[in-house]
Structure 1
Amino acid sequence: MVNTGTKLFAGVDIGATSVKIGNVAADGIIIYRVQQKLNPAELEPHDIVQFTSSLLTKLLTRMELRAQDLAGVGVGCPGVVLPGGVLHAAANFPSWSGVPLQRLLSDLIGIPVKVCNDADAAIMAEQWVGAAHGVKSFLMLILGTGVGFGVVDEGRLVRGGSNAIEGGHMIVERNGRQCGCSQRGCIEAYTSASALLREAREQLNSGVESALSSYPRDQMSVKLIFEQAAAGDKLCERLMNEVWL
Structure 2
Amino acid sequence: MSGQLYLGLDLGGTKIAAGVVSGSGKLFSLVRVATPAHGVRSDLRALFDAAQATLAAARIGWPKVKAVGVGVPGAVDPRTETVWAPNLPGWKSVPLRRLLERALGRPVFIEADRNVQAMAEAWLGAGKGASDLIFLTVGTGIGAGIISSGRVVSGSRRVGGAAGWIAVTDRWQPAFARLGSLEAQAAGPTMVRAARLALRTQKRGVLARLARADRKLTGETLVRAARQGDARARRILAEAGEHLGRGVASMVALLNPELVIIGGGLAEAGDWLLAPLRRAAKKWGQPLASRQVRIMRTRLGADIGVLGAARCAMLEMEREKKSNVDFPSNQAG
Measured after TM superposition, the shift of residue 31 of structure 1 is 1.6
1:231, distance to aligned residue in structure 2 (A): 2.3
Per-residue displacement from partner, 1:129-152 (whole Å, max 9, x unpaired)?
222122111212112221110111
Distance 2:94 2:116 in 1: 19
- 2:5 is matched with 8
Do 1:73 and 1:112's aligned partners in 2 also have CA atoms closer than 8 Å? yes
* Native 8 Å contact 1:85 1:114 kept in 2: no
In the alignment, does 2:131 pair up with 1:136?
yes
1:11-22 correspondence runs (5 A): 11-22=8-19
2:97 matched to which residue of 1? 102
C-alpha separation between the residues in 1 aligned to 2:114 and 2:6?
Answer: 19
Q: Which one of the candidate residues 145, 151, 165 is aligned to 2:146?
A: 151
Query: Counterpart of 2:106?
Result: 111
After alignment, is 46-55 or 78-87 more displaced?
Answer: 78-87
CA distance in 2, matches of 1:122, 1:102: 19
Query: 3-state SS of the aligned residue for 1:72?
Result: strand
Structure 1 range deviating more: 214-223 or 159-168: 214-223
Pairwise CA distance, 1:109? 0.9
Matches within 5 A, 1:15-164: 15-40=12-37, 42=38, 44-83=39-78, 85-87=81-83, 89-161=84-156, 163-164=159-160
Which residue identity lines up with residue 95 of structure 2 in the other structure? P
CA distance 1:90–1:39, change in 2 (3 Å):
closer
Distance apart, 1:156 and its partner CA: 1.0
How far residue 60 of structure 1 moved from its aligned partner, in angstroms, is: 1.2
CA 1:164–1:55: 2 relative to 1, 3 Å: closer
Taking the aligned partners of 2:129 and 2:13, their CA distance within structure 1 comes to: 31
Aligned mates of 1:64, 1:153 — CA distance in 2 = 38
Greater RCO, 1 or 2 (C-alpha within 8 Å, sep 6+):
2
Quick one: distance in 1 between partners of 2:88 and 2:64? 31
The answer on 1:208 being equivalent to 2:218 is: no
For 1:172, the equivalent position in structure 2 comes to 168
Identify the structure with the greater helix proportion: 2
Residue aligned with 1:182, SS: helix
- Asked if 2 retains the 8 angstrom alpha-carbon contact of 1:210 and 1:235, the reply is no
Q: 1:182 aligns with which of 154, 169, 178?
A: 178
| Alpha-carbon distance in structure 1 between the residues aligned to 2:160 and 2:30 | 32
Identity %: 28
Deviations 1:184-231 (A, max 9, x none): x521112222221121112223x2344333434862122222222222
Contact 2:133–2:146 (CA under 8 A) maintained in structure 1: yes
In 1, Cα distance between the equivalents of 2:14 and 2:55?
A: 22
TM-score normalised by the chain length of structure 2: 0.65
Q: CA deviation at 1:13?
A: 0.5
Structure 2, unpaired ranges of 5+: 242-272, 274-333
1: CA distance, partners of 2:111 / 2:117: 10
| Alpha-carbon contact 1:6-1:70 (below 8 Å) kept | no
Which of 152-161 and 12-21 deviates more? 152-161
TM-score, length basis structure 1? 0.87
CA shift at 1:106, angstroms? 1.1
Conserved in 2, the CA contact under 8 Å of 1:85 and 1:116?
no
Query: Match for 1:182: what amino acid?
Result: R
